[in-house]
Amino acid sequence: MKKMLFTLTLMLFINVVIVFAEDKKEKEPVYGWIKESIITINYSQSKFDNWSKGGENTWTWQAELRAQFEKNEEKYNWLNKGYLLYGDTQVGSEESKKASDEIRLESVYTYKVGIHVNPYISATGLTQFRKGYEYTDSTKTALSDFWDPAFLTESIGIGYNNGETFRTRLGAALKQTITRNFNSFSDDESTNEIEKIDNKFGAESVTDLQIKFTDKIALISMLQLFSDFSAIDEVDVRWNNLFVAELMKYISVSFSFDIAYDKNISNKREIRQFIAVGLTYSVF
């Protein structure tokens, strides 16, 4: 119980600090459906033929979709978000390899009680499209696949929304890690039986930031923290960032930078970044 109270107090303090750091200027609320999306497609290629300075033929492509469907009414708010990412790359005569792969879905229902902080319930799912491998000079070893693992989180608590750029929420949460063949994600090895589902009860904090500097420049950031009450010193972290700047109609430069940490997966933080110029279609 002491661990639970300490975790909730710490995560609540972090969220309160963020809230009070926000600009207090408010605007009139907009009711009804609000739909937003950003679609980005990038491709790059290098080809050499009798090039005296040397080099290897390469190509890389990546497609990314961020969509948001929000129903805002006087008494409630229902937010649905989807994030799809996939990309391949090839160097020289090697086979093409997966460069990026993620599916993330989220739904949050908030009941408005007439103050800035309101109760909510939420559900989040995270997995990938296809099998992932670890490559050596001569072999490749499968590490993951679609719905293997899959991470599901259900949460209930309180949240804050300034109505435009900033949302944050904190609550008690259940987190399930589901596997089929790659049980290292879910099995804690505490028993002789291999566990294909790992259930954790803890506290979750999710903060979303979306800033439109101009009609052509936007920053989207999401920070998700989860702490299991049985291991207060272990915090799972996911921090996703996307910066998009439109150069001309449908042509833009984008930069994504993601950090992830889960001790059950790796003792070291994971980092992914991608910068490219390509086709982008945005609806704000």
**Within 22-148, where are the H helices?**
none
Please state the rounded mean pLDDT for residues 175-195: 87
Q: What is the pLDDT of residue 264?
A: 78
pLDDT band at 162 (very low <50, low <70, confident <90, very high): confident
Q: What is the pLDDT of residue 138?
A: 84
Residue 274 has pLDDT above 60, yes or no: yes
Closest-CA residue to 255 (of 240, 239, 242): 242
- CA distances, 34 to each of 37, 106, 156, 166 (Å): 10, 16, 24, 15
Residues 177/195, Cβ–Cβ less than 8 Å: no
Both tokens assigned to 179: 């596997």
Domain ranges of the chain: 2-283
Q: What is the pLDDT of residues 205-255, one digit of tens each?
A: 999 998 989 888 889 999 999 999 888 778 999 999 989 898 888 888 888
CA distance 47 to 6: 57
Q: What is the pTM of this model?
A: 0.86
Question: Contacts by 275-279 with C-beta closer than 8 Å and gap 24+?
Answer: 276/42, 276/44, 276/62, 277/42, 277/247, 277/251, 277/252, 277/253, 278/40, 278/41, 278/42, 278/43, 278/251, 278/252, 278/254, 279/40, 279/41, 279/42, 279/250, 279/251, 279/252
- CB atoms near residue 72 (< 10 Å): 18
Residue 13 has pLDDT above 60, yes or no: no
CA 185 from chain centre, in angstroms, equals 18
Residue 106 pairs with which residues in a beta bridge?
A: 81, 124
Both tokens assigned to 133: 């491998």
243 vs 20, residue with greater confidence = 243
pLDDT band at 116 (very low <50, low <70, confident <90, very high): confident
Question: What spatial distance separates the first Cα and last Cα of the chain, rounded to whole Å?
Answer: 44
pLDDT band at 9 (very low <50, low <70, confident <90, very high): low
Q: What is the pLDDT of residues 254-273, one digit of tens each?
A: 888 999 998 878 888 999 88
Q: What is the pLDDT of residue 250?
A: 84
Q: What is the pLDDT of residues 54-110, one digit of tens each?
A: 889 999 999 999 999 999 999 999 999 999 999 999 999 889 999 999 999 999 999
SS3 assignment, position 12: helix
Q: What is the pLDDT of residues 29-55, one digit of tens each?
A: 789 999 988 888 888 899 998 888 888
92 vs 121, residue with greater confidence = 121
Give the CATH number of domain 2-283; options: 3.40.50, 1.10.287, 2.30.29, 2.40.230.
2.40.230
Q: What is the pLDDT of residue 5?
A: 47
